[in-house]
């Protein structure tokens, strides 16, 4: 969410004599106006608003009741709207208001996404349940299912073309990353939110004594994760990263602030995008299938546009679900 509306926009809202909703919204603090429009006009769930509030408005406070805070904001805004609109003619559909449409566009809530089956732009960015929809209706969902059952080779070829032809970073490791995660990564890459490249890790031990000790303590000599951890941290070490600031497969190596992350078997991959946003992460090195022998290909993921990534994470809360 933007911290404030442009002053010119606010002035326009207050001047619109034929838009009572705009005049009422102009009397609210910016964040309350945005959340009210998102909640009442576009049915954005409160849980999504809470995440947006935490990510974009405030510094996180341990054990703070953010849900109660956002609900309180919405309640205050609704009381204000009720009083301000007491004598006005209110449209049944708030989205007909130019002011509501303006705020909706700023928050990315007005554009529709295409249905994966019929291709028509019918799907809202956020549904009342906060889940990302793929199909505009149950009939399209069932039709797509029947097509997949009847044409498995066509579907496999289409997936292969999308994954391999457009994004070489998945070549050779596409089957080691769950298809849902691959598609979500592809969406983020194509949106310019992240970058990803495949790197071949060298098979050698890490030099840093803190990292070397933790690796020995966590995995036995016959574990493929021990080999993968050494190779991954050695790669980061060669690139100039401070290994004390690395989060290794669920644990910090030394420091609490960790802009570098290493994961295996895609177990912690769902946290990657949030690390780039909330933790100001710089790089995520994912080894989809560690092994005791043979090559060790890895996916190196970096943030490209944190603002765009935050917007997509806010609007599409089911990434990697």
pLDDT of 141 strictly over 50:
yes
pLDDT band per the 50, 70, 90 thresholds, residue 3:
very low
Examine the domain organization and report whether 199 and 90 are in the same domain.
Answer: no
> How far apart are alpha carbons 154 and 93 in whole angstroms?
42
Same domain, 118 and 85: no
In contact, 278 and 257? CB cutoff 8 Å = no
The answer to whether residue 258 sits within a structural domain is yes
Residues 213 and 287 in one domain: yes
Residues 310 and 198 in one domain: yes
SS3 sequence of 218-263: HCCCCCHHHHHHHHHHHHHHHCCCCHHHEEECCEECCCCCCCEEEE
Residues linked to residue 247 through DSSP beta bridges, in sequence order:
252, 261
Least confident of 4-18, 70-84, 220-234: 4-18
169 alpha carbon, distance to own chain's centre = 20
Given pLDDT bands bounded at 50, 70 and 90, which one contains residue 301?
very high
In a domain, 155, yes or no: no
* 77 lies in some domain: yes
Same domain assignment for residues 93 and 115:
no
Give yes or no: residues 100 and 136 share one domain.
no
Share of the chain above pLDDT 90, in %: 24
Picking from 150, 177, 203, the residue at the C-terminal end of a domain is: 150
Residue 174, CB-side half-sphere exposure with 13 Å CA sphere: 17
pLDDT of residue 143: 84
pLDDT, position 5? 47
Q: Same domain, yes or no, for 254 and 286?
A: yes
> What is the C-alpha separation between 147 and 32, in angstroms, rounded?
45
Mean pLDDT within 197-206:
92
Q: Is the pTM of this model over 0.75?
A: no
Quote the CA–CA distance of 62 and 278 in Å, as a whole number. Answer: 14
Q: How many domains does the chain have?
A: 3
The string of pLDDT tens digits covering residues 219-277 is 998 999 999 999 999 999 998 899 999 999 989 999 888 899 999 998 888 777 778 88
Whether pLDDT at 189 is above 70: yes
| Domain end marker among 74, 106, 138 | 106
Of 86-90, 133-137, 167-171, 211-215, give the lowest mean pLDDT range.
86-90
12 part of a folded domain: yes
> What's the pLDDT at 54?
76
Give the integer Cα–Cα distance in Å for 231 and 228: 5
What pLDDT, on the 0 to 100 scale, is given for residue 190? 77
Evaluate whether residue 72 is within a structural domain: yes
- On whether both 203 and 132 belong to a single domain, the answer is no
**Domain shared by 129 and 88, yes or no:** no
pLDDT for res 8: 45
State the pLDDT confidence band at 4, using cuts at 50, 70 and 90.
very low
The percentage of the chain sitting over the pLDDT mark of 70, rounded to a whole number, equals 78
78 in a domain, yes or no?
yes
Q: Band of the pLDDT at 122, cuts 50, 70, 90?
A: low
Picking from 85, 106, 127, the residue at the C-terminal end of a domain is 106
- Antiparallel, parallel or unpaired: β 246-248 and 260-264: parallel
pLDDT at 181: 77
Residue written as token pair 């391999």:
164
The answer to whether residues 14 and 54 belong to one domain is: yes
Decide if pLDDT at 155 tops 60.
no
Task: Categorize the per-residue pLDDT at 86 as very low, low, confident or very high, splitting at 50, 70 and 90.
Answer: confident
Residue 181's DSSP bridge partners are none
Domain that holds residue 136: 111-150
From the list 46, 74, 47, the residue with the least C-alpha distance to 82 is: 74
Mean pLDDT in residue range 152-168: 57
**The dihedral formed by the CA atoms of 5, 7, 9 and 11, expressed in degrees to the nearest 10:** 130
Instruction: Please tell me which residue, 179 or 71, carries the higher pLDDT value.
Output: 71
Residue 229 domain-assigned (yes or no): yes
Residues 229, 300 within the same domain: yes
Confidence of residue 218 (pLDDT cuts 50, 70, 90): very high
Contact between residue 288 and residue 265 where contact means Cβ atoms under 8 Å apart: yes
Predicted local distance difference test score (pLDDT) of residue 82: 85
Does residue 172 lie within any of the structural domains? no
Same domain flag for 117 and 88: no
CA 50 to chain centre: 15
- Which pLDDT value is given to residue 263? 93
């Amino acid at each position: 969410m933007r911290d404030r509306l442009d002053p010119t926009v606010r002035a326009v809202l207050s001047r619109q004599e034929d838009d009572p909703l705009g005049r009422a919204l102009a009397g609210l603090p910016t964040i309350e106006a945005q959340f009210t429009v998102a909640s009442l006009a576009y049915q954005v769930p409160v849980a999504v608003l809470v995440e947006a509030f935490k990510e974009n408005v405030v510094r996180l406070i341990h054990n703070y009741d953010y849900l109660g805070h956002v609900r309180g904001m919405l309640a205050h805004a609704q009381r204000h709207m009720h009083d301000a609109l007491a004598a006005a003619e209110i449209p049944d559909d708030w989205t007909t208001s130019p002011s509501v449409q303006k705020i909706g566009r700023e928050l990315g809530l007005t554009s529709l996404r295409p249905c994966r089956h019929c291709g028509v732009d019918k799907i809202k960015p956020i549904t009342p349940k906060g889940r990302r929809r793929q199909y505009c209706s149950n009939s399209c969902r069932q039709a797509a299912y029947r097509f997949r059952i009847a044409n498995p080779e066509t579907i496999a070829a289409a997936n292969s073309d999308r994954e391999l032809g457009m994004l070489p970073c998945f070549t050779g490791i596409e089957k080691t990353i769950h298809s849902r995660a691959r598609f979500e990564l592809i969406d983020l890459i194509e949106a310019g939110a992240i970058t990803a490249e495949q790197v071949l890790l060298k098979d050698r031990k890490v030099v840093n004594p803190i990292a070397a000790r933790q690796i020995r303590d966590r995995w036995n000599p016959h574990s493929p994760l021990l080999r993968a951890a050494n190779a991954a941290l050695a790669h980061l070490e060669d690139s100039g990263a401070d290994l004390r600031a690395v989060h290794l497969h669920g644990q910090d190596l030394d420091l609490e602030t960790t802009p570098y992350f290493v994961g295996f078997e895609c177990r912690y991959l769902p946290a990657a995008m949030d690390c780039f946003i909330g933790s100001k992460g710089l790089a995520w090195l994912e080894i989809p299938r560690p092994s005791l022998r043979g090559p060790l290909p890895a996916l190196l993921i970096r943030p490209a546009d944190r603002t765009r990534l935050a917007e997509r994470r806010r609007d599409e809360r089911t990434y990697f679900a």
